[in-house]
Every structure is written in structure tokens, then in C-alpha cells.
Structure 1
Amino acid sequence: MRVDPCIGANIRSKKDLTSLCEVENIETGAFIRSTFTYIDDHDKAWFGQTKDIRKYDLTVQDLNRLLQRVPDERIYPLKTTTLSGEAKLLPQLLLQEAEVLQFLEQNPHPNIIRFHGCTVNRGRFTGIALDKHSVILQYRHEDVPHPLNIDACMRVIRAAVKHLHSFRLAHNDLNPTNIAIDGDDNPILLDFGSCRRFGERLLSGGTFSWIDEDYSTSAQCHDELAMVKIEAWLLSEAQEKH
């Protein structure tokens, strides 16, 4: 597939990356490779990986050397593709998430992220426009000085998930990185890329270390188990802080 000529990703800091993670052997925990992604100001996507350098040891020079442009057609559906239309795997994931968010915007809940439509660049859907929140539950204890009311937080999460389930939709990837915290400490559910109706086949589901097994179909029990884990994690974080 042809990629537009370009001078390179040209990032200035690791903070510019969209993601930076390590792949490990699920049985032994042994390091396999570091992977990283970057979306530039023109919605051009970049991907890099290395088997030789751990993620914390990667320099900006390493990242710029290893990042390679991902062709638009690999990840972005054409603007002429309808939300319910056919698309290849990665573009299809974007379209399916937009379709779910569009449905939820028509059936809103105050603790589910607001959807404002899709962004378009170079004749393709390149992203999803959502409300922006600066604090994520995963880092809430680091970013906000006062303690979180865990009971209140979980009560709101359960209410938002109950709203999803009332439409026979399961999130299938609930974890602290997929929950934002607004200025009043209210949780907001994010990342609906794995959200499907009960029983539907999943192209992706769950986040490693937050699931007990790989998910192949959408199910209410995935969210119920996730909420138990999230509450246990919050209690553990609170105890460590004190």
C-alpha cells in the first residue's frame, strides 16, 4: 500500500505519543517488545516497535527513528462509508464505535462521554469528537490532592453501566484508564470501541490484567466483574496512599 511521502513523525517528547506500552509473555512475564503510536496534527497515524529497548529506555531519537507512517486506508474509513456500512477491520472498529456513541447520544446519560460526531481529513473519517476531560481515574490519586469518595464514585459507575445494560449493551472494557473524572469528581465512561449488544461477536475486548480470559462475545457479566475489580483497585490505591 502506498504511503504519502513525509519527513517523519518528528515528535519532541514521549508525551507526544498516543500510546507507549510493552508486550510481555503472558505465562512468564518476559519482555517481548515495546510498541508505540502517534497521531500528528494532520491526523496522520504512526506506529513503531522494537524488541531491543524497554519502553522506559526509549529516547525521542529512538522513537523518531522507529515510527513509521500507517497508510490512511489501514485505519481510516472513507467519508462515503456509512456508520453501518462495510469496512475493513480497523476502519470498521472506528465506525462501530461511532455508531454506538451516536446511539448513546440519542439516549444520553450524564456519566457517559458526550459524542459530537466524526472528524474528517483527506476524505476519510479520522477520529471521533468527544468532550474532553483532563483527569483519568487511573491517575486521579496523582492529579488531584484530596481523596476520592470511592462509594460515590462506584455508585455513579454502576448507574452508568446499568443505563448501558438497559439497552442490552455491554462496555466489555471497563478499567481505570477508560473512566474520566470531571471537575466535581464524577466518573465518565470512555472508550466504547468494544461496546456491543449482548451476544454479539467482539473484534476486540478487555484490557490485559483487567480480564480473567479473552472475550469473544459481548456479555453483561464482563462489566459486572470489571466493576468489582475497579472497586478493589480503588480501595487498594487509597490504602497505599495513606
Structure 2
Amino acid sequence: MCANICTKRDLKDLCEVEDYETGAFIRSTFTYVDEQDIAWFGRTADKRKYHLTVEDLNRLLQEISDEKIYPLKNSSISMAKLLPQITLEEAKVLEFLKQHPHPNIVKYHGCTVNRGYITGIALEKYEIILQYRFEDVPHDLDIVACMDGIRKGVKHLHLLGYAHNDLNPTNIAIDSDDNPIILDFGSCRRFGEKLLTAGTYGWIDGEYATSAQRHDESAINKIEAWLKEEKNKRATMAT
């Protein structure tokens, strides 16, 4: 059985593992979840993520059995609480944020169940991710307005006592009005709490193990600098 993806954007994640001290490339890793909630995982030390082709990905992706990643459905537990173990902490945060909504934070609807297993968290769907905004939308992006929305969403989190701890362009969606929507709360915790996962290489200043406001402040500055660089790059290409 083959994963049979058609484009890299079908992937759930496409990452690189690098040596933290030297920055040397170690391997590329990638995950995919198909329409039946069957999960796939692949990795290779032979190619960096930008050089991987769709043919490479389909060849390397291996199906993961349900029991290895999904817990069994328990009818005695509220559907809103039925979540995979690996996303349980994220679900707790989203349950809390659902009681304290903000227009720049993704809407959480509960969880999904398939084949008797809890297969994921159900969130509002957005077609565009900030990482690909310049590629997917022809008109220019108002960087000032975009950053203002990101800062407002993050400020809301901070006022509630939480830090996101993994802000980067792949964790921010863009709605039809170009408003930024913060996603992926797997590393979001109250200030001072220990983290299971933290940050994305290239968007953090260094390794950290506890949640802190300064992680988000640093990431926001990096995102703004990246947006300006991307905008200038597109303008240069157009001339």
C-alpha cells in the first residue's frame, strides 16, 4: 500500500533534523495523514527537504498502525476529551482557550474519531498558511497589519498566563481577509511549566525546556524580519 500523495503540501509535516551545535544536516523527516486518518511516516539522510520529490516521498512513506499512535475510543468520556495521547496537552490548552476566544487564535471544535480510535483535534480550517502566503495569493500582504494581528493574538495568550513557544510561519494561517490566525498549540503552556516539545529550528534562539513569554517575543521579531525579506525577494523577482 502506498501513501500516494500528489504534492508536498499534502504532507502534515516536512522537517529537517540538524546538529544543534554545528548546524550540520542529519536527516529529513515527513508525515502524512490520508482521508481515512491512516498515518504515514518517512525519513531519509540522503536528501534535504527542499530536494525531495513527490516520488521520493511516496517511496519512503511507511504506514503506521493505528494502535501505535491512536488511543481507543472510550464512550464514557466526553467527545471533547477524547484525544490522542500525543495531543492531550494541546487539547487541554485548546479547551481552555475555547472559553477565552480571540479572533487571531484558531477555533477549536473538539476531536475526530475513526475506526474506533481518536485520530485528531478538529480545528477551523484555513486554506492559506503564512509560510506560503506570497506564493498562493497574488496581491501584496500588509505586513504591518499582519504583525499587528499576530501580536494581538500572542498578547491575549500572555495575558492568560500562557506562552505559545513555537511561533513560526508554518504555525500561522491567513484567512480570506488576510488576518493572521495562530495555530498549533502543542508547545503552549503556562509560564514556567515544563515543555515536552519546544520551538522549531531556525525560529528559536536556543534550546529551552520551560514555557516563557520571551520565546514568543523573539519569534515575533524573527517572523517580521522574514516577512520583510520575503516581500523584498518577491519585489526583486518581479522587476
User: Which of the residues 113, 122, 146 maps onto 2:106?
Assistant: 113
Q: Which residue of the other structure, out of 2, 6, 13, is the alignment partner of 1:9? A: 2
1:209 Cα deviation after fit = 0.4
Q: Check the 8 A contact 2:3/2:63 in 1, yes or no.
A: no
Q: CA deviation at 1:58?
A: 4.4
Distance 2:161 2:2 in 1: 41
Give 1:178 deviation, angstroms: 0.6
Residue matched to 1:5: none
TM-superposed deviation, 1:125: 1.4
- Residue identity in the other structure for 2:178: D
Structure 1 residues 56 and 160, CA, compared in 2 at 3 Å: closer, same or farther? closer
Unaligned runs of 5+ in 1: 1-7
**Post-superposition offset of 1:205:** 0.8
Partner of 2:61: 67
SS of the residue 2:173 aligns to? strand
Correspondence for 2:72? 78
Report whether the alignment pairs 1:159 with 2:141: no
Give the TM-score normalised by structure 1.
0.85
CA contact (8 A) 2:130 2:174 kept: yes
Kindly state the Cα deviation for residue 12 of structure 1 after the two structures are TM-superposed: 4.2
Q: Residues of 2 paired with 1:146 and 1:84: CA distance?
A: 39
Structure-1 separation of matches of 2:147 and 2:51: 36
Distance in structure 1 (CA, Å) of the matches to 2:5 and 2:227:
34
Residue matched to 1:147: 140
Q: 1:83 to 1:41 in 2, by over 3 A?
A: closer
Q: CA RMSD in A?
A: 2.4
> How many Å separate the matches in 1 of 2:20 and 2:50?
20
Distance 2:171 2:89 in 1: 17
Alignment pair present for 1:23 and 2:10: no
Q: Give the Å deviation of 1:68.
A: 2.1
Unpaired runs of 5+ residues, structure 2, are none
Contact (CA 8 Å) 1:83, 1:95: kept in 2 or not? no
Aligned-residue identity in percent: 65
Contact 2:205 2:218 in 1 (8 A): no
Structure 2 counterparts to residues 164-203 of structure 1, below 5 A: 164-203=157-196
**Do the aligned residues in 1 keep the contact of 2:3 with 2:40 (CA within 8 Å)?**
no
Q: Is the 8 A contact 1:84 1:96 kept in 2?
A: no
Structure 2 residue matching 1:200: 3-state secondary structure: coil
Single out whichever of 231-240 and 49-58 deviates more from structure 2.
49-58
Q: Aligned-pair distance for 1:53? A: 4.2
- Residue 40, structure 1, aligned to residue 29, structure 2: no
Compared with structure 1, are the counterparts of its residues 226 and 62 closer, same or farther at alpha carbon in structure 2 (3 Å cutoff)?
closer
Q: Which amino acid aligns with 1:74?
A: K
Q: After TM superposition, where is structure 1 displaced by more than 6 Å over at least 4 residues in a row?
A: 81-85
Alignment of 1:220-235 (within 5 A): 220-235=213-228
The TM-score normalised by the length of structure 2 is: 0.86
Q: Equivalents in 2 of 1:148, 1:195: separation in Å?
A: 27
Confirm or deny: 8 A CA contact 2:42 2:60 kept in the other structure: yes
Further displaced range: 143-152 or 75-84: 75-84
1:84–1:99 CA contact under 8 A, matched in 2:
no
Higher alpha-carbon deviation: 175-184 or 31-40? 31-40
Q: How many pairs were matched up?
A: 231
Task: Provide, for residues 144-178 of structure 1, a one-character-per-residue CA deviation record: whole Å limited to 9, x for no partner.
Answer: 22221111111111111111111101100011111
